[in-house]
Structure 1
Amino acid sequence: MLRSVILAAARSHKVERLVETAPVSRDVVKRFVAGTGTAEALDTTSELADKGLCITLDNLGEDTLTPEQAEVTKGAYLELLKALGGAGLTADRAPAGAQTIATAEVSLKLSALGQAFDEQLAEANAREICAAATAVGTTVTLDMEDHTTTDSTLDILSRLRRDFPATGAVVQAYLRRTESDCRELAVAGSRVRLCKGAYKEPEHVAYQGALEVDKSYVRCMNILMAGEGYPMLATHDPRLIAIGQDRARWFDRSPSQFEFQMLYGIRPDEQQRLARLGHTVRVYVPYGTQWYGYLMRRLAERPANLGFFARALVSKK
């Protein structure tokens, strides 16, 4: 119920204005969002890389409704990639079979590039970003959004991979279709991020209970670990992390043949612990001015984060 309330708040402009104007919101957001521009994103990336962590950067955007808005988002990614390359932050970290692991890559939502009104435009914009990423020695991962965009996103991914085979996919364990998608994606050279999912979905397409979602996550993990691709396990759940480590041993995967992913600002000590154990840990780092929708979905994913947010709102510091 709490998750539903938070997701409803994510769509409320009234709540959005309240949060944006609260005096302490800046301090709260700073924990989860790495600033509003390229320079701040670059600083955060450098700090995390110095700690032995990998990074994927997301330029936050919501409700792109015009080609002009999509062009602005594309431009932000091109600027970011140029800056990452210039700072030497896209260097390979370690071999992963026939692949390499870039210190910093980018994640992008096709909706921010025009998918809602022109799929061809979104694909063209994504293709330009993929080319820029390749030019500086890194990769792109296509974020997954609500279930109505899943087929479109996977179709565009398939076409992009013809020219940019390292382009990463994202699948969401709460969708009933995801086990089947994992079987199709668990092929050589395929980078696949497995997450739980953060959108409110109807019961006929998505599991509703936390236990059901966790069980689906493990089933999907097994498929990816048994396959020939490169699994990217996006979770903060201690049980799922432990299961991931166990499955890696079971399927004879070295730490360079899969990675853990966690959100910026959530469980940083655990990120460091796993990195010290030799695991590749990639931190999902969002930045940009349109942070509200992202923040609310993060709270919905892990309602315990709401306590931190609430304390900050009433704090006088």
Structure 2
Amino acid sequence: MQTPEELEAALALKSIARNISLKSSLQQMPKVYSALWPAARRFVTGETRQDAIDTARTLAAQGYSTSLECIGENTATEQACQDAMSEFLALSQAIETASLAGSATLSLDLSHIGLSVSRELALENLQRLAQDTRARGISMMLGMEESEKIPAILEVYTQVAEQHQHMGITLQAHLYRTPDDLAMLLRLPGKIRLVKGAFQEPAERAMQRGEELNLRFLALAQKLVEAQHSLWLATHDQQLLQECERRGILSSPHTEVEMLYGVRSDLLKQTKQAGQQTRLYLPYGLEWYLYLCHRLAEYPPNIYRALADCVQPSRTEQIVNDYL
């Protein structure tokens, strides 16, 4: 559980991440942008699609599966959504060309390709991307966003997932509504990625980090295993993973452990060496400001590491080697 000071820092970082004017100012200050990039590079494979593909290829050779995503969300215009779609279609093709279709999943947030404009646009674009990835033999994973978006996300997802079994979705254990959402989603074949939940939510909608949340996470995971449903355990909590192992959740053939690139590489490597199916989430792109703030908010002491990374950029040049 975070200390009061860490919780305050986390809330501040999440607020900073959502400050559009600050983000715009940062992007217009090349010296500041380049100074912060080494800190972001600890968690981001690079600024280009090829950076992510090269990292995925290296990791696949070591037996890791991967989830690739071009960072972005809350895209506000139809043209920007179409630009994002062009990138995801190019990513789909790049995964196939690199012979990674069997190990790499294409991941995205629905607000990146249209949900912030209209549900109709989001549905149209998700269907198009689902058709393209299915033709190439590439699985998809839809991210989950703030709670006010969830009804729209689930509506669009269910319409597409009924036709495309290669698509999965993320659920956040900290939301009080999640058990009901899981009961509904178990009727669909798509994988479920289970996370604790990273977004700042009102107290009436979500529980705080702590023992209660851990028990909720375990209960949801257990329900998925009992249903013999494909499950991605997306967590860096070593004690939680140990409890999952004790309860037989990890031994299920339908369970996979996923972690974020640059976070607890030692634990994921150890998990893979123990024979567990493992996966790394590999983000890339120019929109890394928000992503970096979220990573620091999850564990505020990482701010010290980020400062060190900025002063000594060589520290983050080859993060992928930590997994080899």
Deviations 1:264-311 (A, max 9, x none): 111112212111221111111111111111111122223232231133
Identify unmatched segments of 5+ residues in structure 2: 1-7, 315-324
Aligned to 2:112: 112
Q: Counterpart amino acid of 2:136? A: V
Distance 1:124 1:188 in 2: 20
Deviations 1:9-61 (A, max 9, x none): 21235654459715542222111111122211110111111121000111111
Aligned to 1:162: 162
Maintained 8 Å contact 1:186/1:223: no
The within-5 A match list for 1:213-228 is: 213-228=213-228
RMSD: 2.0
Quick one: which of 51, 68, 79 aligns to 1:57?
A: 68
Maintained 8 Å contact 1:74/1:113: yes
Aligned to 2:98: 87
Maintained 8 Å contact 2:134/2:166: no
Q: How much does 1:238 deviate?
A: 0.3
Deviations 1:101-124 (A, max 9, x none): xx0011111101110121111111
Distance 1:50 1:62 in 2: 31
Aligned to 1:287: 284
Distance 1:82 1:23 in 2: 30
State the SS of the aligned residue for 2:275: coil
Q: Which moved more, 1:160-169 or 1:230-239?
A: 160-169
State the SS of the aligned residue for 1:106: strand
Aligned to 1:12: 19
| Residues 29/52 of structure 1: CA separation in 2 closer, same or farther (3 Å cut) | same
Number of residue pairs the alignment of both structures matches: 303
Maintained 8 Å contact 2:174/2:207: yes
Q: Which moved more, 1:258-267 or 1:182-191?
A: 182-191
| Residues 209/273 of structure 1: CA separation in 2 closer, same or farther (3 Å cut) | closer
Q: Counterpart amino acid of 2:60? A: A
Maintained 8 Å contact 1:22/1:313: no
Distance 1:3 1:213 in 2: 18
Instruction: Give me the identity figure in percent.
Output: 29
Aligned to 2:183: 183
The within-5 A match list for 1:131-210 is: 131-187=131-187, 189-210=189-210
Maintained 8 Å contact 1:255/1:279: no
Distance 1:277 1:188 in 2: 31
Aligned to 1:274: 271
Q: How much does 1:247 deviate?
A: 2.8
Distance 1:50 1:105 in 2: 16
Deviations 1:236-274 (A, max 9, x none): 00011112222336xxx7453210110011111221211
Distance 2:77 2:37 in 1: 29
- After TM superposition, what 4+ stretches of structure 1 lie above 6 angstroms from structure 2? none
Quick one: which of 73, 79, 94 aligns to 2:84?
A: 73
Quick one: which of 285, 288, 311 aligns to 2:308?
A: 311
Distance 1:123 1:165 in 2: 16
TM-score (ref. length: structure 2): 0.87
| Residues 187/313 of structure 1: CA separation in 2 closer, same or farther (3 Å cut) | same
Distance 2:138 2:69 in 1: 14
Maintained 8 Å contact 1:188/1:229: no
Maintained 8 Å contact 2:45/2:282: yes
Maintained 8 Å contact 1:176/1:206: yes
Aligned to 1:94: none
Aligned to 1:100: none
Distance 2:20 2:151 in 1: 29
Aligned to 1:296: 293
Q: How much does 1:313 deviate?
A: 3.6
TM-score (ref. length: structure 1): 0.89
Q: Counterpart amino acid of 2:11? A: S
